[in-house]
Structure 1
Amino acid sequence: MTYQQTLDYIYAQLPMFSRVGAVAIKTGFENINALCSFLGAPQTKLTCIHIAGTNGKGSVSHMLASILQSQGYKTGLYTSPHLTDFRERVKVNGKMIGEQDVVAFIEKIRPEIERVEPSFFEITVALAFDHFVKEKVDFAVIETGLGGRLDSTNIIRPVISVITNIGLDHVQLLGDTLPKIAGEKAGIIKEKVPVVIGETHPETAPVFIKKAAEEQAPIYFADQVFHPESWYYQDDALVAEVSKPDSVDHLRYQLELSGAYQVKNLLTVLETCRQLRQMNIALDEAAIAKGIAHTKKLSGLHGRWETIHKNPKIILDVAHNEDGMRQVLNQLELTPYRKLHLVLGMVKDKDIDKVLSLLPVAALYYFTQANLPRALPAGELAEKAVALQLKGSIWPDVNAALDAAKAQAHADDLILVCGSIFLVGEVRGHSS
């Protein structure tokens, strides 16, 4: 098969959560264990860092991979979903897996795919493990897909586990309260494996502490070790000064990921690095600073408060749930502009009314949808928005919506595209 035929096969054969939603999910480890057994158990041959969380896990994964790479380690990075290219999910030192590697993998494992009938996600996890072993990576940074306890990535035994934060997302699958969702994410905590928790929250901290105690896993809350003393912008970069208990000096970091909400993720990354150093893994301060300052360049992360155009300023952000949207709205308060144009599209299984209720009435809206079955039709989104006094026009395609916003916008205006990872992917795919 050609690469395109291989991709067509993957998409046609395997149910994909990001396209169709919950019907694509296959719980349990039977399929992923069968695939990995067929491949010679690659997950047992990797030194892994495992990362879960409601928001921030992608940013934390990319920052950690960038730091390890800056230290000179050959670093594998598995994340999902992809924005524009399937191969973004599997990278080594920031370079996407080759097209021929994907073709060869599918040809090798195709008989097992047809026997096991795995999900799209299970295949991509197996692909990542197999590729990282083949590439002889020193470290593999593995981001969970959904939840943690039953996630296909959870067959690894990492050297450290990381849980960024907990918010209400995927409630129909993970539970409708913060403690229930925390219980699912806590499923990545392994026996005697240290775990870093990004945020201390009164409802979720007891869940993590209890699970860590059951597993005899040392537990560390990043925001109890590191504290952001101040942050500011310098030439479009975010600069954060951080203190820690055992030092009077503040640590100063310049972040290539410029959303102010990245300060929280920075603390999680710093505590994870501190724990890795406790394991005698070499990570010097210069590599940490370099990795944080060049995350996009080194790891290829996009869509996190990302400016793609100036005058008018056009910003992309993958925020798609209540907590993510609150962070984006906080960022908007820090951003100067004359008028806000909001290009918005969401998927059906989010708490759409809750997200819409947070949005500013004064903005001009362009309601749109991503090109996938799971997307909420733009007209339905507009109807829900009108009930909350959010007014605008309806566009069946995000790039047409963005063109309309550009045509209306003054040079000092701000155009923000958000509400769905897939929406941002289609804009990036169109502009690249």
Structure 2
Amino acid sequence: MIPKLDEYKKKWEVESDQIIKPGLGAIRSALKKLNNPQEHLNIVHIAGTNGKGSTLTFLEQISKQHGLTVGKFMSPCIVDVHDQIQINGQAISEKELNSIFKQMKNANLSGMLTDFELLTCAAFLHFYQQEVDLVLLETGMGGREDSTNVVTPIVSIITSIALEHTRFLGPTIKSIASHKAGIIKEGRPIIIGKLPEEALYVVEQEAYEKHAPLIKLGDHFNIDCTNEFGDIYTNDENGLYINDLKRSLPGEHQGDNMALAITALFEVAKYFQLPVDIEKIREGVKHATLPGRFEQVYPNIYFDGAHNPASAIKLAETIRQQFPNEVIRFVIGMLADKDVKSVLRTFETVSEEFYFVDFMNERAMKAEDMLSLSNASSKQIVKDYIPFLQSCINRNGKTIVTGSLYLLAEIREALLNKY
């Protein structure tokens, strides 16, 4: 469920399905009715189990610093549907989205698409009509059969690969890698993060078959996050050395995401024949922040949308780095189709204090079921999380709200409405 999307669907009598339906046939037909706006866009396509949103944000900021107007399409939303379609950090307005829906109604798209496919069409239309220079396009799920995979990008990025959405993407790293590798296009460069060996083999094969130049973190470019004065990026292919990179997004994994974005910028700059300014990269990196990624919302309260085992491990590592001697408590709600048990086991390595909450999503696991899965010594269900979170501001230690980005969106909206 995408908050407020139904309001536009109802107003304009455009029907779409909430059920996930992998495949590109329907969206290709719909885009043809809209005169294929995606064919007129300059795109960076980003897939990956974790790190998509952060990599996109780094690339958005450093691209803006270089004078480009940047559109981005991401999921899930921060508060509601408007957040998912942005230009230079500004969410699409109600007036603009009404205009887009009117065009989609007139094109007879009603009943053709899923919710996410419909929103993908809306994003392409908006970016085309606003004449953005660059579009940063995040896959919804997988890659090969994801509705965003109807584009020919300047460059593609695969940030990471781990087990996720096994019902749709298959039960193994190899099958999931095959879906992610589907965003690789003929002759277009593909930049990849640190992938498991079995995933790397699949991606390398796809790149070879598509004659796509493969640019690998740890091979063609590197990031050193151990320097106290800032991270150091090196690129052997370009003979580049960029020091003093100071990120606002903490954690070594964010250093990897930053490196992917910087490497993508060079491909974008090459395409636009733009000179790359090292100081503008430093400035963009410094200003890159992302809601729900180790985000301090109130004093002592942090939001992080760690929703699978791989992202839970990264969050636990960041907590150890940032708060080595602090008391940690988790406020957590998750979707039932996630590997909840593995996520909890990881979080239990940094805390024994857990508060489980219910939230409005048809796929959400009940708080009482999460409670039964927990091995923590101190655990309980919180019915009214707003006053509880307010009380945590002045409590000893740090409170981490995590588990699902849908939960974070709901809590954020509730906080905004109440305070």
What TM-score do the two structures reach when normalised by structure 1? 0.88
- Decide which of 36, 39, 58 is 2:34's aligned counterpart: 39
The amino acid of 2:363's aligned partner reads R
Q: Deviations over 1:282-306 (max 9, x none)?
A: 132222222211123xxxx311000
Q: Which residue of 2 aligns with 1:15?
A: 17
Displacement, 1:39? 1.3
Q: Which residue of 2 aligns with 1:363?
A: 352
> Residues 11-410 of structure 1: matches in 2 within 5 Å?
13-16=15-18, 24-110=19-105, 112=107, 115-231=110-226, 239-245=230-236, 249-279=241-271, 281-282=273-274, 283-296=276-289, 301-310=290-299, 313-336=300-323, 337-360=325-348, 362-385=351-374, 388-396=375-383, 400-401=384-385, 403-404=387-388, 406-407=390-391
- How has the CA–CA distance of structure 1 residues 211 and 3 changed in structure 2, closer, same or farther, with 3 Å as cutoff? closer
Q: Separation in 2 of the partners of 1:231 and 1:293?
A: 17
Query: Does the 8 A contact of 1:11 with 1:120 survive in 2?
Result: no
Query: Does the 8 A contact of 1:321 with 1:350 survive in 2?
Result: yes
Query: Does the 8 A contact of 1:223 with 1:267 survive in 2?
Result: no
- How has the CA–CA distance of structure 1 residues 329 and 232 changed in structure 2, closer, same or farther, with 3 Å as cutoff? farther
Q: Separation in 2 of the partners of 1:264 and 1:10?
A: 43
Q: Which residue of 2 aligns with 1:19?
A: none
- How has the CA–CA distance of structure 1 residues 113 and 357 changed in structure 2, closer, same or farther, with 3 Å as cutoff? farther
SS at match of 1:157: coil
**Structure 2 unaligned residues grouped into runs of 5+:** none
Q: Which residue of 2 aligns with 1:21?
A: none
Displacement, 1:143? 0.7
> Greater shift after overlay, 34-43 or 407-416?
407-416
Q: Separation in 1 of the partners of 2:165 and 2:12?
A: 24
SS at match of 2:322: coil
> Greater shift after overlay, 42-51 or 275-284?
275-284
CA RMSD between the two structures: 2.4
Q: Separation in 2 of the partners of 1:89 and 1:76?
A: 10
Q: Deviations over 1:297-354 (max 9, x none)?
A: xxxx3110001122xx101001100000000000111133542111011001101111
- How has the CA–CA distance of structure 1 residues 425 and 392 changed in structure 2, closer, same or farther, with 3 Å as cutoff? same
SS at match of 1:152: coil
> Greater shift after overlay, 171-180 or 144-153?
171-180
Displacement, 1:122? 0.6
- How has the CA–CA distance of structure 1 residues 325 and 232 changed in structure 2, closer, same or farther, with 3 Å as cutoff? farther
Is 1:426 the equivalent of 2:419?
no
- How has the CA–CA distance of structure 1 residues 389 and 431 changed in structure 2, closer, same or farther, with 3 Å as cutoff? closer
Q: Separation in 1 of the partners of 2:242 and 2:131?
A: 37
Q: Separation in 1 of the partners of 2:202 and 2:381?
A: 43
Displacement, 1:209? 0.8
